[in-house]
Amino acid sequence: MKLGITLLICIFSLVAKADLSTDRSYKDVVNYIHNLATKYPQTTQLFTIGFSNDGVAIEGIQIGNGPMHNLVVGTHHGNEYGSTELALNFAESLAQSPIAGQTLYVIPVLNINGYNNRDRYEKVNGKYYDPNRDYPGPCGTEGPHNLNSTKALANFIDQKNIISSATLHTYWPAAVYPWGISTEDVDTPYTSTFVEMVNAATEASHYSVGNSTVLIYPADGAFEDYAYWKHGIWSILFEVGHSHSPSVSDMDEMIKGNVPGLRKMFEMAPQARAEKHDFTGKCSIGLRALDLHIE
Ligand SMILES: [Zn+2]
């Protein structure tokens, strides 16, 4: 009897264990989402947002059939494989149980050659670009769009009418909201809504929450500010875990906190884009020196 119970516990813990790896290649990531699509044909569908400068398809998986469209994008920075693992495990959790009324588009890896090389930057013709400084922005950018990947994502969020988005990074525990640019005027008209979103997102993880510029540092040309500034997308940046090189057990903890957090956030997120999304403050370009390019 006792042995039976022990066996049952072992089997349950095997089933419940997240599928995590520290050394996946982009090909493995694609296989992962293709397997999900095969396993959950009723709730999922594969998609491609376009091609990287190397000509590789940037693939994702959409989950659910609802009229409200939301987005999760991982791995703008190729070395941040913990964010890829979170995106994959969130996709799997959604495939098992989609969010009512929503279609979630999950893109586990945006920066493909960076991911394969475990390099923050995306390499094109011998030059290295930071994909999360490559979008247009109200206080400037290192781009815009030196990279096909960032242009493809910019087109995608426009075409799909994305309402809320989560962009996933490592490596310190935080969920933050706009503005994250070189300015001292960091407040949007919607701080209270953003605070509700990050509070929901961190209910299980207990991560720090706040304004992106204040909690991290100013960064011009980042996706999260672009999505809000250009379209009024409710845009949250997640910095997950404690390291750019998390172990499997570190990532297990990361998944346990952030998979329910992401779900909770999307469940409570606004149903329509923000209306007042222009930047009306003053840029302080001198603050750009604070951008460490490590997050
Ligand atoms: Zn990052």
Residues 31-65: tens digit of each pLDDT: 999 999 999 999 999 999 999 999 999 999 999 99
pTM metric for this prediction: 0.94
226, 137 Cβ separation under 8 angstroms:
yes
Alpha-carbon dihedral angle through residues 191, 197, 201, 202, given to the nearest 10 degrees: 40
Q: How far is the CA of 68 from the centre of ligand 1 (A)?
A: 27
Q: How far is the CA of 295 from the centre of ligand 1 (A)?
A: 4
pLDDT at 135 over 70: yes
pLDDT at 8 over 90: no
pLDDT value of position 18:
78
Please list the residues that pair with 235 across neighbouring strands.
165
Q: Which two three-digit tokens encode residue 137?
A: 């922005």
CA angle 138, 145, 220 (to 5 degrees): 35
157, 214 Cβ separation under 8 angstroms:
no
pLDDT value of position 5:
57
Dist CA 200 CA 246 (whole Å): 24
Q: What are phi and psi of 108, to 5 degrees?
A: -70, -35
pLDDT value of position 35:
98
Q: Please report, as a single letter, which amino acid is at residue 42.
A: Q
Classify the phi-psi angles of 126: left when phi > 0, otherwise alpha if psi is within -120 to 50, otherwise beta.
left
Q: How far is the CA of 129 from the centre of ligand 1 (A)?
A: 13
Q: What distance separates the 2 farthest-apart alpha carbons in the chain?
A: 70
pLDDT at 7 over 70: no
pLDDT at 15 over 90: no
Tens digits of residue pLDDT in 221-246: 999 999 999 999 999 999 999 999 99
Q: How far is the CA of 8 from the centre of ligand 1 (A)?
A: 40
Percent of the chain with pLDDT over 90: 94
Q: How far is the CA of 210 from the centre of ligand 1 (A)?
A: 17
Q: How far is the CA of 15 from the centre of ligand 1 (A)?
A: 31
Q: How far is the CA of 6 from the centre of ligand 1 (A)?
A: 41
For residue 83, which of 237, 229, 190 has the smallest C-alpha distance? 237
Burial 265-277 (b: 16+ CB within 10 A, else e): bbeebeeebbeeb
Q: Which two three-digit tokens encode residue 177?
A: 């909201």
pLDDT value of position 3:
54
Alpha helical stretches, state H, the chain? 2-16, 26-39, 81-96, 112-117, 148-159, 191-201, 212-215, 223-231, 248-268
Q: How far is the CA of 48 from the centre of ligand 1 (A)?
A: 22
Average pLDDT over residues 180-209: 98
For the ranges 17-21, 74-78, 144-148, the lowest mean pLDDT is seen at 17-21
Q: How far is the CA of 46 from the centre of ligand 1 (A)?
A: 25
Average pLDDT over residues 65-82: 98
pLDDT value of position 13:
46
Average pLDDT over residues 19-23: 95
Q: How far is the CA of 108 from the centre of ligand 1 (A)?
A: 13
